Amino acid sequence: MIGPRALRLALGAGFLFALGTSVSAQAAPEATTVDVTIQNFAFSPATITVDKGDTIRWTNLDSAPHGAVTVQPGFVTQILGQGQSTTTTFDRPGTFDYICNVHGATMRGTVVVRGAPVAETAAPAGPLGHVVVDTFAEARPDRSDTPAAAPSLLLGASLALALVVVARFVWVLRNT
Ligand SMILES: [Cu+2]
């Protein structure tokens, strides 16, 4: 029986192993770190080209907080105060337009990651959005979708019961 703690430890060890192998695999073609500074509400350089596996280090020199987030799914950095830095490593080739995640599209930048484009895996077929089954049965008292079987059944049962009562009454009258 594997307890949750042992499972967590095993998962953690597996993650560290995977991390270690991926880092050693990427470290082979000398990965570099390039700087993008944020000053006067602008990224500099606005467009930066790196190789797959390289890291970009954003540093905010403004007193206002800034960050970087891609327009399309890609990356998002933390929001940086003055003098703070954050790094993002790019392991997927492509062109990533990004904006400031505090000030929006007034601050724009582009990261171009060189390398053969990776084939996009097709999104898994999921449910087609919300499927709302709504017959409005309660909201339409003017329309009766229920068949008339229920009331007639009740009526039949009542008549049968009345017949039994009458028959019993007649039987009692005749035998006294
Ligand atoms: Cu900003």
Q: Please indicate whether residue 6 or residue 87 has the higher confidence score (pLDDT).
A: 87
Whole-number Å distance, alpha carbon 114 to ligand 1 midpoint, is: 26
Contact between residue 37 and residue 109 where contact means Cβ atoms under 8 Å apart: no
Whole-number Å distance, alpha carbon 64 to ligand 1 midpoint, is: 7
Whole-number Å distance, alpha carbon 159 to ligand 1 midpoint, is: 82
pLDDT at 64: 96
Mean pLDDT of the chain: 79
pTM for this model (two decimals): 0.51
Whole-number Å distance, alpha carbon 14 to ligand 1 midpoint, is: 38
Whole-number Å distance, alpha carbon 34 to ligand 1 midpoint, is: 20
Whole-number Å distance, alpha carbon 89 to ligand 1 midpoint, is: 21
Whole-number Å distance, alpha carbon 41 to ligand 1 midpoint, is: 6
pLDDT at 27 over 60: no
Can you tell me whether residue 95 is helix, strand or coil? strand
CATH topology of domain 29-114: Immunoglobulin-like (2.60.40)
- List the beta bridge partners of residue 47: 110
Instruction: For residues 94 and 117, give the distance between their C-alpha atoms in angstroms, rounded to a whole number.
Output: 6
Could you tell me the two tokens for 115?
Answer: 């390398």
Cis peptide leading into 151, omega within 30 of 0? no
Give the pLDDT mean for 120-148.
56
Give the pLDDT mean for 13-38.
64
Whole-number Å distance, alpha carbon 160 to ligand 1 midpoint, is: 83
Q: How many residues does the chain have?
A: 176
Whole-number Å distance, alpha carbon 67 to ligand 1 midpoint, is: 6
Contact between residue 61 and residue 38 where contact means Cβ atoms under 8 Å apart: yes
